[in-house]
Copies of this chain bind each other. A is one copy, B any other.
Amino acid sequence: MSDQIKYLLDESAMPKDWYNLAADLPVPLPPVLHPGTLQPITGADLAPLFPMAIIQQEVSTERYIPIPEEVRQVFRQWRPTPLFRARVLEKALDTPAKIYYKYEGVSPAGSHKPNTAIPQAFYNKMEGVKRLTTETGAGQWGTSLSYAGSLFGLEVQVFQVRVSFNQKPYRRAVMETYGATCVASPSDLTESGRAILAKDPNHPGSLGIAISEAVELAVQRDDTKYALGSVLNHVLLHQTIIGQEALLQLAMAGDDPDVIVGCTGGGSNFAGIAFPFLGEQLRGGRSRRIVAVEPAACPSLTRGKYAYDFGDTAHLTPLTKMHTLGSTFTPPGFHAGGLRYHGMAPMISHIKELGLIEAVAYAQNPCFEAGVLFARAEGIVPAPEANHAVKGAIEEALRCKREGKSEVILFNLCGHGHFDMAAYNDYFAGKLSDQQYEESELAMALSGLPSVPDNIA
């Protein structure tokens, strides 16, 4: 048995293209609807929000889309990222399974988010944009866009969900170090923020509200556009570099995964690791189990409804068909802030409906327990979001043990927890609740779903 634990690609092997799952989907995605007309939108409808290069990627069905050389040049600072074999964890679990993890925490922001922040900033810069607005939950996305903005000379205005802003006081300092501005959302900088504060000055905020604020500010000025850190097709596309690399690295290791695991909030890191493998399958390759792990406190994929809904609370965004808990759903302040979104990426929802992936939800205490086990075995402290993927991978490894199967498990460790140690403090102090929902509670937010014409829904 080889004792190798790390599989590194040479820089020259860094993928030159993103992989676009839309090219291989057996059924195309349902259309995106205009929030006013409820009819399919055009590229022109999106132009106030995004640069043309990104709008084209959003609707492209080309299988491979080139990564600009300027973007690859920035990626070289930390990409290709390592693939690790979790040998100590395997031993601790006494499992016959092999566990591999792709580690995205080596980026300057500590997560996978720069994979899309860098190209988004680049395309905006190329089209003359001066300022970007965005929302952030735990702060990883805001940090990453701030970092990208500093590299390309763009102003960045971040709206951070208030409960995370308060839980993670040092996140703002990172964004400010990169030269960005970060305010708690709901804020008094926007009409949508002021309207919510008027009703509840202590509103904890939500990603849906923060998106409303960022979109509202972006459409007001010609030199300003909006950037989203997950959910949309182009964001998922940008993350596929993770899986593209993992394909090459597993070939180096001489293994082929039977199960692929990722955590899902908006869906981007999960898409990043899973789509290139799923694409192989859709083109006639081997079939593999692909498992999305989400928090029980925000269970869009496992308990939400597959329906047209808004991406934000103030209903400024287009409508997409997705698994949703309702755009007015305000998830509790649990610690995996990056997974606290009412909807799921339309493309992930779509393949879930097609039966191409599975989904499972776990409460936060068992996820932290899994993260601590992982840290003691493998040395890396995972982000609270990533703990969901760790939990999912451990459950698969324990199943392999029960069934006596030596399957190969691959999961995405999407970020480290160095910014999130307050959450670990709370976990050790027994302060984390494992909130679940009655069906009736979920039904309430879903009762407000918009009605769309019969020929579309």
Q: What is the interface of chain A, defined by CB distance below 8 A to chain B?
A: 3-6, 8, 11, 73-74, 76-77, 84, 88, 106, 108, 110, 147, 150-151, 169-174, 176-179, 371-372, 375-376, 378-381, 416, 418-419, 421-422, 424-425, 428
Chain B residues within an 8 Å CB radius of A380: 108
Number of copies: 2
CA distance A416 to B416 in the complex (A): 13
CA distance A133 to B439 in the complex (A): 52
Q: Assess whether A375 is in contact with B178, with CB atoms less than 8 Å apart.
A: yes
Which of these, B5, B110, B173, B375, contacts A422 with CB under 8 Å? Answer: B173
CA distance A274 to B4 in the complex (A): 30
CB distance from A276 to the nearest CB of B (A): 23
Chain B residues within an 8 Å CB radius of A171: 421
Task: Tell me the nearest residue of chain B to A87, going by C-beta.
Answer: B73
CB distance from A19 to the nearest CB of B (A): 24
Is the contact region of chain A dominated by helix, strand, or loop, or is it mixed?
helix
CA distance A379 to B375 in the complex (A): 26
A177-B381 contact, Cβ under 8 Å, with A421-B171, A425-B169: yes
Q: Assess whether B421 is in contact with A6, with CB atoms less than 8 Å apart.
A: no
Q: Assess whether B424 is in contact with A372, with CB atoms less than 8 Å apart.
A: no
Which of these, B11, B76, B177, B422, contacts A372 with CB under 8 Å? Answer: B177
CA distance A15 to B76 in the complex (A): 24
CB distance from A88 to the nearest CB of B (A): 7
Supply 18 A–B pairs (Cβ within 8 Å), ascending by A: A4-B76, A77-B378, A106-B106, A108-B379, A108-B380, A108-B381, A150-B375, A150-B376, A169-B422, A169-B425, A170-B422, A173-B424, A173-B425, A174-B418, A174-B421, A179-B376, A418-B418, A419-B421
Chain B residues within an 8 Å CB radius of A172: 425
Chain B residues within an 8 Å CB radius of A381: 108, 174, 177-178
User: 3 smallest A-B Cβ distances: which pairs?
Assistant: A170-B421, A108-B379, A418-B418
Chain B residues within an 8 Å CB radius of A371: 177
Task: Tell me the nearest residue of chain B to A5, going by C-beta.
Answer: B76
